Amino acid sequence: FPPIFEKMAALKKLVPIHSGESITFGETTITAHALHHPGGSQGYKVTCRGKSFVFATDHEQSEEVDAALAEFCKGCDLLYTEGQYLLSEYRGEKGLPANNRVPRNGWGHTPMEWCLKTALKAGVHEIHLGHKDPYRKDEELSQIESYLTELIAKESKEPAKLRLKMASEGMTTRL
């Protein structure tokens, strides 16, 4: 690591895709969206046969609801995004299992509560939170999932349609 493209024999052609651009392969379209992270980052929407998946991690929202990301994700079937910090950890009010209480503003990651608000604004059907702090234990992740599920019910203006899962190794999802 890091991967050296010259040694990756399966790569035949690299095609850059910039924010706002799309590329199509058969029935599948991939669209890029600029994200906010030190060093830069992009999210991607993959659309095929009427289903859509958005991958948008390594992104720090500047507000509770990221209007541009919500528009990009509008009505998507699945959004995979941040699961690094709770709002109290982001603000430095609470420490992480292996870290002191320090504000994490500017580190490139959105509080999970804000991710939910953006997903609700976008009308996303399901959200998977990944990119988790590696020191969190499964029990803590389960508690966080319960807390966030309750938050979805409180934040929803109508019966909650947004489903939440904490992403895990080996997990598969069918759209």
Give phi and psi for 99, each to the nearest 5: -130, 155
- pTM, rounded to two decimals: 0.91
Structure tokens at 59: 């992104």
**Predicted confidence band of residue 118 (pLDDT cuts 50, 70, 90):** very high
- How far apart are the C-alpha atoms of 104 and 91, rounded to whole Å? 6
Residue 10 has pLDDT above 90, yes or no: no
